[in-house]
Amino acid sequence: MTKIESLAKASKELMLKEPFYGLLLMSLNKVWNEQIPTAGVCLKGINYELAINSEFWDSLPLEQKVGVLKHELLHIGFFHLVNYEKYANKKVLNIAMDLEINQYIERSWLPQDGMFLDTFPDLELEPRMGTKYYYDKLMENQESEQDQNFSVVVQAMADGQSECALANGQIVSLPEHDWEEIEGMNEAVKKLVESQTGHIMRQVADQVQKAKGDIPGEFAEIIRRLNAVEPPKFDWKGYVRRFTGKSTKTYTKKSRRKYNKRQPEFPGLKIKRQKHVLAAIDTSGSVSTSELQEFLGELYHLKRTGSDVTICQCDTAISYIGPFDPKKDMKIHGRGGTSFQPVIDYYNENQRKYSCLMYFTDGEAPAPDNAKGSILWVISSNGSKDYNDVWPGEVIQLEN
């Protein structure tokens, strides 16, 4: 059996045993890499890649191959790469992360020389408490040297060893996660990596649920947080209801329940009119990622009022115009300077298409000229307080 066939067999076994992990594995690029001692996930841009040492892989029985795959996927699912820079002592962090994730894998699925809670019996570590808990406990032990095994492991890692012998003679492999590349990333790229990780997790969860499968308990709370939507900070339904704009989209739907007076043998037509909102998003560099997330949260609630929403992204120029789909992640364009004028000019030319313009911004730009029609300015909760009567239309500021 070739190594590719062996990987395919282990992947299929994981899919059958735990579909969530199998689907997560399908989202990764996979490569063979003899420069690493075992296996590991890493970042390639904002996406993940699984690298495997073929000699290590061939040394494992099928069950442990499945366990190694699940081990690496748990690093992704628990956002370990995203949070790597938040901890100062990387060697202790590597141990803490493996202590956490190995608890969610059948013991027989893992090589016996892995990191487990009973590797450090004198620390009396509680089960399934999260990476931070284990990191803090291990850091405390560095001062007190309460557990002899831990002192041996840390010294061996400091000496650059790949394995060491504990006090009872047991051999343990030392974790080597090389994720330092994320520390050199700027904040914007780090946010993209975090967003991409969340997107992958939500996508896999959706696929599992559509297939009537279950989300593993260890990920249920993570998925819940990823899918959580903040309550609206503004009464969008009330505003749209009292809005007096002229333009609506008209939809027709055939209905057997409605009588067709002209042609009784055919179904009647049900007519539905919908407000059509042009939602401009300020994507200039002065708008933070958290402010953009705040805007998207409000747009989600605006969409739920039944309004049709078209997005217009703009910094000093319009970079994107298209429909708003709350089920899809939005790619942000721009991030340059700020000018409201391009959107105002576009809205002036296309007022027949839209019921109103809602401009989501931090307010860090002069008021535009020659603004016409119905306009609502939505200032972020951390945005400028300097807007005044010069701004055309209505102005609201979101609350913290």
- Residue 154: pLDDT above 50? yes
Q: What pLDDT shows up at residue 349?
A: 95
Residues 67 and 149 in one domain: yes
Residue that is last in its domain, among 226, 255, 287: 226
Mean pLDDT lowest for which of 90-104, 107-121, 328-342? 328-342
Give residue 255's identity as a one-letter amino acid code.
Answer: S
How large a percentage of the chain has pLDDT more than 70?
91
What is the tens place of the pLDDT at every residue in 81-95?
Answer: 989 988 999 999 999
Range of the domain at 45: 3-226
Q: How many domains does the chain fold into?
A: 2
What is the tens place of the pLDDT at every residue in 335-373?
Answer: 889 999 999 999 999 998 998 999 999 998 889 999 999
Residues 119 and 247 in one domain: no
Instruction: Tell me if 231 is assigned to some domain.
Output: no
Residues 158 and 222 in one domain: yes
pLDDT category at 261 given cuts 50, 70, 90 is low
Q: Give the separation between CA 218 and CA 291, rounded to whole angstroms.
A: 30
pLDDT category at 317 given cuts 50, 70, 90 is very high
Residues 115 and 221 in one domain: yes
Q: What pLDDT shows up at residue 202?
A: 87
Residues 216 and 256 in one domain: no
Q: What pLDDT shows up at residue 260?
A: 56
Identify which has the larger pLDDT, 131 or 263: 131
- Residue 247: pLDDT above 50? no
**φ and ψ at residue 307, rounded to 5 degrees:** -75, 150
What is the tens place of the pLDDT at every residue in 217-243?
Answer: 888 888 877 777 778 888 887 777 765
Which is it for strands 318-323 and 308-314: parallel, antiparallel or unpaired?
antiparallel
Mean pLDDT lowest for which of 126-130, 167-171, 310-314, 319-323? 167-171
Report CA-CA distances (Å) from 211 to 19, 20, 25, 222. 10, 11, 17, 20
CA-nearest of 106, 102, 93, 22 to 61 is: 106
Residues 100 and 198 in one domain: yes
Q: What pLDDT shows up at residue 244?
A: 46
Instruction: Kindly tell me the sign of the dihedral angle through the C-alpha atoms of 26, 27, 32, 37.
Output: negative
Query: Domain holding 363: CATH number?
Result: 3.40.50
Instruction: Tell me if 341 is assigned to some domain.
Output: yes
Q: What pLDDT shows up at residue 262?
A: 62
Q: Give the separation between CA 355 and CA 28, rounded to whole angstroms.
A: 43
CA-nearest of 196, 187, 189, 213 to 79 is: 196
Which is it for strands 394-397 and 375-379: parallel, antiparallel or unpaired?
parallel
- Residue 263: pLDDT above 90? no
Residues 211 and 250 in one domain: no
Q: What pLDDT shows up at residue 236?
A: 86
For the purposes of burial, counting CB atoms within 10 Å of the CB of 149, is it exposed (0-12), middle (13-18) or buried (19 or more)? buried
